[in-house]
Amino acid sequence: METSMELDDFKQAWQTLDRRLEQQNRLQLQQYRENKFDKMRHGMRSLRWGQALQMILGAVIMALSVAFWRTHGSDPYMLATGIVMHAYGIATIVAGGVVLGGLSEIDHSSPVLAIQKQLAIVRKRYVISGLCVGLPWWMLWVLPLVMLAKAVSGINLFVQTPGFVWSCLGAGVLGMLATWWLHHWSRDSSRPRLAKFMDDSLTGANLRRAQSILDEVIEFERT
């Protein structure tokens, strides 16, 4: 009888210790997650500010372009230049808004795997919007020069220096196509290192750091 009671006491003490250890592990995991997610949120704030500034820049481009093509609408070259830059300003705003929308959908209280899926969506949006805004700049960089020359000195570069303008636009088309081809070519499964390098270069440091943090949390949960 006495031995049975000792065994019961030992069993109860063991269960109590096991519950305390389990509770301590949960608290450690929760504290670890909170510390890591604080770093992740800090990085996301920087990304949000970057996208917000991109949208402001797009609004400035759009406003200046509207004022330009309204003022110089009688010249078909200037009208086309202003409208193209107007459209580019809108695209810049939309691209930033798409990424910000994805960031707002990340729920840091969700399980880590769910956050990974949400972050993957943001990463995809960031890459696509970056390509949509970045690739056209191969050509479009010359158009602000056209607008500036017309606004400041009244010179129409399409008429005064057509070789310069059209060669810049042509070279821009080639550069844009070459960049798109390189990105497509790097996606081949036989070039995993190049594919990773291209993805990392397009993703940005903040999103890469966020993914690294999630990987660390998953590894900690497994141990």
What are the residue ranges spanned by the domains of the chain? 32-222
Residues 40, 213 contacting (CB under 8 angstroms): yes
pLDDT score recorded for residue 7: 60
Report CA-CA distances (Å) from 12 to 2, 5, 15, 18.
15, 10, 5, 10
142-153 vs 76-104: helix axis angle to the nearest 10?
130
pLDDT score recorded for residue 113: 82
Q: 164: Cβ–Cβ under 8 A, 6 or more apart, which residues?
A: 157
pLDDT score recorded for residue 16: 65
Mean pLDDT for back-to-back runs of 10 residues, the chain (223 residues): 57 63 64 76 86 95 95 92 96 95 85 86 90 91 95 93 94 91 77 72 79 78 67
Residues 82, 66 contacting (CB under 8 angstroms): yes
Report CA-CA distances (Å) from 39 to 68, 111, 212, 223.
44, 17, 11, 21
Q: 162: Cβ–Cβ under 8 A, 6 or more apart, which residues?
A: none
pLDDT score recorded for residue 5: 53
pLDDT score recorded for residue 18: 60
Token output for 83: 């409208």
The CB density around residue 150, as the number of other CB atoms within 10 Å, is 21
| Torsion of Cα atoms, 6 then 7 then 8 then 10, to 10° | 80
Looking at residue 74, the DSSP 8-state letter turns out to be: T
